[in-house]
Amino acid sequence: MAKRIIISGGGTGGHIFPAIAIANALKRLAPDTQLLFVGANGRMEMDKVPAAGYEIVGLDIQGIDRKSLWKNVTLPFKLYKSISRARQIVRDFKPDVAVGVGGYASGPLLHTASQMGVPCLIQEQNSYAGITNKRLGKKVDKICVAFEGMERFFPKEKILFTGNPIRRESVTIRNKRFEATELLSLSPHRKTILLTGGSLGARTLNECMRAGLDKLIDADVQLVWQCGEYYYEGLSRAVAGKHADYVKLTAFLHRMDLAYAAADIVIARAGAGTIAELCVVGKPVILVPSPNVAEDHQTKNALALVNKNAALMVSDAEAPQKLVDTALDLLTNRSLCETLATNSKQLAILDADEVIAREVLKLAESK
């Protein structure tokens, strides 16, 4: 009999892409599986999930705004409304399992599903568990993690080390470098930096590159620059003219595989999903953790690689002074590039999506 699975969460690509990867793995392993996503209204999952071919319904929920406390006034009402809506979704869809990947919608849906006797699994992407998942950890049946030492946050007997699901199409880069330089209009003879600030872009990384463009061009280095929709218009004016031959600026990279294939080194934020992909592609990387995340978890993610000599790290505060010079130094240090690439590949986990999907199906069978 076909299993019915709810997958809940989102807010950023770091939550959405693993959710879609798990859904794709479920369909590969059990093609008759019926899937429903639950997201937060107004967040990017409401567009990205249907684009991936899956149905999604939204909850009217938001996170805590730490910068403007008055914006949290409506939060208790939205939470109550979201729990009521989640209860109706569970009643109507009758899931065999509910899966949470983090993000605003994950809390109300998994809390409600567990109360209603639905087996639940959560996937924690980061090395420092988020507040929603820490609370859910006491209620759910299984917790899939990607970093060691997560028993600090969760009951040890529920933890399964799986790694983070990745977009398989994004890390298939073998023999694609020539195709990548052609399609991205790059010179095949220049050293190439890929800068990616995540699905929304990253202000610090963008400002560092804008300030350092002349230095990069003087070194005959070209740049694939994923800047985010919010920053694109202003930056496109800044790179026009003499920079155009050296810079491929884009709001969002739809072909991450080509960007990775073209790159000699990568500069990125330290989101867990990004790190999982970078380990698989095995490129030398400089991580610049975002300071705007709960519990500074991106720094902890980055240190998991830095401590194994698998990446370099530049703090957000030091990036304006150090980032471009660090990148140029790394490009000329062949030995260090090889060391970082080799060590990062040893941390790669390619099949996390299927390992998690099998656990979901096991829970469904045990219901």
Annotated binding site: 12-14, 126, 167, 199, 298
Pairing mode of beta strands 97-100, 120-124: parallel
* Cα dihedral across residues 198, 201, 202, 208: positive or negative: positive
362 backbone φψ class: left, alpha, beta (φ>0; ψ -120 to 50): alpha
**What is the DSSP annotation of 288-316?**
---SSSGGGHHHHHHHHHHTTTS-EE--T
Contact 270, 285 (CB under 8 A): no
Compute the distance between CA of residue 157 and CA of residue 151 in angstroms, rounded to an integer.
9
Dihedral sign (CA 243, 281, 276, 355): positive
Beta bridge partners of 229: none
- Whole-angstrom Cα distance, residue 322 to residue 315? 9
Name which of 160, 133, 131 is nearest 8 in CA terms.
133
Binding residues for UDP-N-acetyl-alpha-D-glucosamine: 12-14, 126, 167, 199, 298
Q: Which residues pair with 7 in a beta bridge?
A: 37, 99
- The two tokens of residue 101 are 């990947």
Distance (Å, rounded) from C-alpha 114 to C-alpha 120?
A: 6
For residues 310 and 279, the answer to whether their CB atoms sit within 8 Å is: yes
Q: How far is C-alpha 53 from the chain's CA centre?
A: 19
d(CA 53, CA 47): 10
Nearest CA-CA partner of 35 in 47, 53, 17: 53
Give the single-character DSSP code of 265: E
